[in-house]
Chains A and B, each alone.
Chain A
Amino acid sequence: MQKVAADLTKVLSPERVLWEREHLLTYGFDGTAALYGEAGCVTLPKTVAEVAQIVRYAAANRTPVITRGSGTGLSGGSVPVAGGIVLCLAQMDQVLELDPKNLTIRVESGVVTQKIAELADGVGLLYPPDPGSMRISTIGGNVAENSGGLRGLKYGVTRDYVMGLEVVLANAEVVWFGNKCVKDVAGYSMKDVFIGSEGTLGVITKVLLKLVPKPAAKETLLASFSQMDAAAESVSAIIAAKIIPCTLEFLDNITIRCVEEYAHVGLPLDAEAILLMETDGHPAVVREEAKQMAEIARQHGARAVQVAQTAEEAARLATARRVAFSALARVSPTTILEDATVPRSELADMVRFIQQTAVKYAVKVGTFGHMGDGNLHPTFLTDEKNAAEMARVEKAMTEIFDHAVGLGGTITGEHGVGLAKKAFLPKAIGDASLETMRRLKRTLDPDNLLNPGKIFD
């Protein structure tokens, strides 16, 4: 047992300080491929006071603190620094208040996102952000990574639903930012500083979230295209027709093939793209919009458009997109899920570039993603034991990021920088922007204790 663990058993009850190697190894990673670190100990606080005590100890002893929830991140944001203290908030999972009058819910950071969605649903409300990991990801992690999901185009991302935060700062002070007011301009919007800060500026311990009324109806359509451009043009035309669908997801040909092999949903194997479209809202409007969307897709070269007639059929159509990642993840031992994002208008260009780059470097890449908001998921199907292939993957990825940035896009739409994208960040945002971030970090965490080495060095 390292000294740090022995010391912390005086702060927390001993069973909530883990130090056996068989424990530490299991907290050494998150959902990102090929990243690993071994902490000095793992702590499982249950109250904000305990979090503050741990941070105070860390500050006094200059020991790094790595905050995590369920460890589902996709950029290595919660991979431990060697010898550091992992602050796992999974056991701080109390729902504090559901307030239908103000359309808010206040929870501790360790509450699983799905639970928030279910509680909202129970009172006829909706918590829209739906990251792929929501069944186990914690809301604290979602806020720290500013997670997205399938409904970004219409409903936005996690940031758009955070009204307030409780944060433990690097000096162990506990601060509350924000409130239930829709309008509030009293000083800087400090909560926004912490949203998406990846655990580097403070430890988020409580979250106040906004909820919206649940849409009464939803229509689901599936269209297939012989050309990616046709799919992209359909999307542009739909939005130009003043329709904002809640879902506009696409799968490329490799993904279609993998999905078909895995789930046998009857997708056309020679299609270059399929598009899953959903619109939600008032029943009459939704019906009308679905009809229009089908028409637009046909006009722009869709070879087939299916409109779900029943809820079961809608679920069946959505299967293809729902299982896309599973289908790809089975193909090879290592699956690297990326999230290069471009302005919607550049989508067809970006997808074509990804496909060309994959051929150029002889690597297998399936691409699917959120066509409505330009957020792509080029998914590398590889094997981390194959050093030569991993080197080619690295090169292909670099070119893809460069191209995305060149098109006015970003290296990461919803996964964060963490360790995985750190090397790409300077080129993507430029020196001045990076230096401003560094200055902010130095101000809030002068001793570089909170998740050091993430986002930038």
Chain B
Amino acid sequence: MATQDELHAAAVKIGRANPQGRMGASKYLKHLDFSVLQQCIHCGMCLPTCPTYDETKLERNSPRGRIALMRHIAEGRLEVTQAFGRELYFCLGCLTCETVCPAGVRYGEMFEHGRADIEQAGVLRKPTRDLVRMLMLRWMFTRPRALRAAGRLVWIYQASGLEWVVRRLKLTTLLPARLRGLESLTPQVQRRFSDALIRPVETPPGNRKYCVGLLTGCVQDLAFSHVNRHTVDALLANGCEVVTPRLQFCCGSIHAHNGELELARRMARRNLDAFDLDRLDAVITNAAGCGSHLKNYAHLLRDDPAYAERAVRWSAKLQDVHEWLAEIGIQAPAGSIPQKVTYHEACHLCHGQKITRQPRQVLAAIPGLELVELPESTWCCGSAGIYNITQPEMSQKLLRRKMENIAKTGAHIVASANPGCSVQLQAGARGSNPRLLIAHPISLLAEAYQNSFKA
């Protein structure tokens, strides 16, 4: 039987491993506060709620197993290895484990540090991976204008009918298998982005009760700019003046979740510069994944003397749009939406931010809308940031499970408050239930307000 070193040497020969090294020393986990690493009491309560453990029943694929590995690395008993790298990228980062953890383990923070270690040690490096990471993380998602330009190109491809032709002629079969799956996940890019739909300052028609800032996001801005518009409409209807800075930056969650903590900090600082906090009662986000990370700026920048104080104020003012509306009281719409709707809970809303009640309150406020509970509503849909691209097999399994549960409800509309989930669910609907509509709860609310005028 071959030793691990022999196996590695063989893997290098066929280009499947990084010749520079199969292992590396930890820089991030080692310096993580020990109380964070040690908090896990390995009781196992996270196991039944972990989608990857549920699939494989292997301890390593569970939060408890991953925490054990991270702890061994932090304590110097294990190097940052390729197997560890593969393991942490098999994790969805859905944070369900944080919800059920009796000991309050901050898994998300450990996970981000673990992935940062993997990247600095370079145990997963491969030319294509390096290139994609460079383009996406270092270039596109740090430059809002570049991102919009890329979005524009995709829009031309889709709107010109080229995408239809390509799909029709099955030209996608020419792509490598991995990319073929990816192609179906290309979000439908909007003709106009948020800055064309929303004025820098919009004032409510009646009494101005609050002044809030709006974050327009990245994917949200390209593929769901109408959701941003709906968010402004809903906020206006509830007496909020909405300030939307023209130049906004990626919140940095994609960086933090993919091992680029320094880049994540840089993005956080830029956003802090973009908003005038003193003027705002709240900073509103409508994308669950972003919100979960945005609320964490205080923690992320706690060691930055220039930004720490402002980051604390930022985190205190950062609110998910459902959370904010539920807090200030939702103005009941006069218009109705007589539809059967079910609600899929984005992981970073229900687990990342513990917001479960408020989106349902938003939906319940809509006259005529029949809310049907979704079985396993808090179980990840497999989108998980870019997981559907990096781990297509596991992602597809989760999507199938989600679509089956949705089918059980008999709902015509699935409400979901995260762009990643929405893209994933749209892909799922194309495959199994073409008549299913996927909508942001706030879009439904905005439509009900809109219907008021028609009525």
Contact = CB atoms under 8 A, between A and B. Distances in A.
- Pairs A-B, 3 closest by C-beta atoms: A326-B102, A26-B65, A333-B38
A18 B58 contact: yes
A136 B34 contact: no
Given A21-B78, A22-B84, A326 B47 contact: no
Contact of A330 (B58, B68, B81, B103): B103
A426 interface: no
A137 B47 CA distance: 10
A22 B84 CA distance: 7
A334 interface: yes
A135 B1 contact: no
A243 B4 CA distance: 64
Interface string A363-386: 000000000000000000001110
A329 B102 contact: yes
Contacts of B62: 26
B160 interface: no
A112 interface: yes
Contacts of B104: 326, 329-330
Interface string B50-70: 000000011110101110110
A22 B42 CA distance: 16
A50 interface: no
11 contacts: A1-B1, A1-B2, A21-B78, A22-B60, A22-B81, A26-B64, A70-B47, A72-B43, A91-B57, A112-B48, A383-B38
A128 B58 CA distance: 29
Contacts of A33: 41
Contacts of B195: none
Interface residues of A, number: 39
Contacts of B64: 26
Interface string A54-98: 000000000000000011100000000000000010110000000
B47 A136 contact: yes
Contacts of B47: 70, 136
Interface of A: 1, 5-6, 18, 20-23, 25-31, 33, 44, 70-72, 88, 90-91, 112, 114, 133, 135-137, 325-326, 329-330, 333-335, 383-385
Nearest to A335: B41
Given A44-B58, A112-B48, 10 more contacts: A1-B3, A23-B59, A25-B68, A44-B57, A71-B42, A90-B57, A91-B57, A114-B48, A135-B45, A329-B102
B44 A70 contact: yes
Contacts of A137: 44
B165 interface: no
Given A136-B48, A325-B102, A25 B42 contact: no
A91 B55 CA distance: 11
A218 B77 CA distance: 51
Contacts of A29: 42, 68
A429 B59 CA distance: 36
Nearest to A3: B1
Contacts of A385: 34, 38
B167 to A, nearest CB: 36
B83 A329 contact: no
A278 B35 CA distance: 37
Given A1-B1, A22-B87, A333-B38, A71 B103 contact: no
Contacts of B65: 26
Contacts of A31: 41-44
A137 B39 CA distance: 21
